[in-house]
Amino acid sequence: MKKFFIGLVLGLIVSFPLGINFGKDVPLLSNPFAAKPDITERVKERTGEMIEDTKEAIHDATKPVRDKLKK
């Protein structure tokens, strides 16, 4: 029983930082307590991606009309 509890404690000690890193979507063996990337940088990156996706969708949606106007 003593070995079981020692294994349980060691497993918790190892799995806790790995779980934090997995939740943050960072490499598993990195420092789980390191500072997060700046929230403004993350928002800028995601909005830039969203704008590009939106531009592509609008371009694809209006392509048939533009082709008709060229004829």
Interval 20-51: pLDDT, tens: 888 888 888 888 888 776 778 888 888 989 99
| pLDDT at residue 26, rounded to an integer | 81
Domain extent listing, the chain:
1-35, 37-71
Cα–Cα distances in angstroms (integers) from residue 59 to residues 25, 45, 54, 55, in the given order: 32, 21, 8, 6
| pLDDT at residue 37, rounded to an integer | 67
Tokens found for residue 35 = 């500072």
Which of the four pLDDT bands, split at 50, 70 and 90, describes residue 10? very high
Percent of the chain residues past pLDDT 70, beyond the cut: 97
pTM of the model: 0.44
